[in-house]
Structure 1
Amino acid sequence: MSRYSVSFQLYSARFFLPVEPQLAYLKEVGYDAVELWPPNYEEDAKTFRRQVDAAGLEVSGMHMPLAGLVAEPRRYFDYAHEVGTKTLIPPYVPQAERVPTADFWRSVGDRLRVGAELAKAEGLKVAWHNHDFEYVRLEDYSRPIDHIMDAAGPDVEFEIDIGWVTRGWADPAKELTRYADRITAIQLKDTALAGTDFDQGWTPTGDGIIDWPSLRPLFDGTRANLLVVEHDRPSDWKALAKRSVDYIKALVG
């Protein structure tokens, strides 16, 4: 039996509401859990939790705004308890807020560290989720991702998004190795060749350019027991979900 559970980031199906039949379908095709984004729980977390429970799924984690982790921690801690997850995942720094300096990116890590300290007292944990911009070199040739993770400290985990690592022109194998002791979830997000317009260049897992079989052995060297499917703009979310979970389960055995 595989050590890995497979989760579906519901952001991927945000244009195909309502969510309740999505949950039933995800369970039917083989998912163990779902990963949330704020609209899933901010309006009515209790109802959403009932729907997830009824579908027989777990909540593997919830994406949330970084600003909320420090400015409104109680609000998001309560959401986490209500939906039944222990993992809060700030996934993004808006472009307008980014400053291309080491000090700025260390300040992002500092905010994560403070949030993780607060979360720990609640029995919760914090994990960072990357995009491509964390791999763009600064003037001193250092990388935002390294400043973030160093300043955040060991209590902040890492949900690594392999698709965005690839689009950031970094080497997924090196990143899986570099942060093996921090990685607790791996997003098996796949991408087509640069310049592909269809579905913004994203593909179901296994249909793109990422060499998953070569990366597979590195998964076991991380702390991860969770693999996550995500796609930013699928034209057919059901096909995405089924193709991806089938491929992942064959990949990990």
Structure 2
Amino acid sequence: MSRYIISFQLYSARHFPPLEAQLDWLAQCGYDAVEPWLPAYGDDAALFRRQIDAAGLACSGFHMPLAGLVNEPKRFFDYAHTMGTDTLIPPYLTPEERSITADGWRRVGEQLAKGAAAAKAEGLKVAWHNHDFEYHKLQDGNRPIDLLLGAAGPDVDFEIDIGWVTRGWADPAQELERYADRITAIQLKDTARPGTAADEGWTATGDGIIDWTALVPLFGATRATVLVAEHDNPSDWKVFASRSIAAMRALVGG
């Protein structure tokens, strides 16, 4: 039996409503949980909870804007309690929000630390989710990911997206080892060969260039209990979902 919860990031199916049918199909595929993104839960989190309960799925955590954690944390804490999860995941900064200085990235980490402290008082936790830009070195040689997580401190967890690490020209194995004590969720996002135009170059887990069999042994050294399937823009979300979970179950058992 696998030690991991296998979850599906609902952003991957955003172009293929309705949500209720998605949830039923994901449960039939064998997923344990879903990872929603705003606005999937924003209009009516209680309804979203009823829908996942009816499908037999859990909420493994949810993506949310960093601005929400900074400016209206209580709103998002209430969402977490309603959906039955303890993990809030800010996943992105717009190009305009990305600093070109080390101090700017440290400030992002400090915002996360403040949000995590407030979340902890509610029995909740905060985890950062990466893209590729956090691995592009600044002029002073620092990497934003190191500055951000360093300033955030140990109470901020890390949902590592292996596909974006790879596209950031970093070594996923090294990143899994470097942040083993911070990683609580792993997105097994796979990428096709550079230059692939179809589906923006993303593909199902196991169908791309990432050597998952080499990486999976490193998962056990992290704190991760959740593995997540995600694809930014699949042309056929069901093919992506079914192929990904088959590969993920084969890799980790269960």
TM-score > 0.5, shorter chain as reference? yes
2:252 maps to a residue whose letter is V
Q: How many angstroms does 1:97 deviate by?
A: 1.6
Deviation at residue 20 of structure 1 after TM alignment: 0.3
Post-superposition offset of 1:215: 0.4
Paired residues for 1:166-181 under 5 Å: 166-181=166-181
SS at match of 2:214: helix
Q: Secondary structure at the match of 1:165?
A: helix
Aligned to 2:223, the other structure's residue is in SS state: coil
Deviation at 1:54, TM superposition (A): 0.3
Can you list the C-alpha shifts for 1:39-78, whole angstroms capped at 9, x where unaligned?
A: 1111111111100000000000010000110100011111
Find the aligned partners of 1:84 and 1:204 in 2 and give their Cα distance.
28
Report the AA paired with residue 27 of structure 1.
A
Matched residues in 1 for 2:99 and 2:145: separation? Answer: 13
Q: Tell me what 1:248 maps to.
A: 248
CA distance in 1, matches of 2:97, 2:229: 28
TM-score (norm 1): 0.99
Matched to 2:217, the amino acid is P
Letter paired with 1:112 = L
* Range 36-45 or range 183-192, more displaced: 36-45
The offset of 1:167, in angstroms, is: 0.2
* Cα distance in 2 between the residues matched to 1:58 and 1:205: 21
Alignment of 1:155 onto 2:155: yes
What is the letter of the counterpart of residue 177 of structure 2? T
Partner of 2:213: 213
Shift of 1:96: 1.1
Query: Separation in 2 of the partners of 1:76 and 1:44?
Result: 12
- Tell me which residue corresponds to 1:63: 63
Q: Does 1:25 align with 2:25?
A: yes
Does the residue aligned with 1:6 lie in a helix, a strand or coil? strand
Aligned Cα root-mean-square deviation (Å): 0.5
Gaps of 5+ in 2: none
Question: Could you give the per-residue CA deviations for residues 171-192 of structure 1, whole angstroms, max 9, x where no partner exists?
Answer: 0000000000000000000000
Alignment-derived partner of residue 49 in structure 2: 49
Paired with 1:38 and 1:233, the residues of 2 have a C-alpha distance of 16
1:222 equivalent in alignment to 2:218: no
Percent identity between matched residues is 70
Partner amino acid, structure 1, of 2:240: L
* Secondary structure of 2:186's aligned partner: strand
**Equivalence for 2:75:** 75
Calculate the TM-score normalised by the size of structure 2.
Answer: 0.99
Displacement of 1:242 after TM fit? 0.5
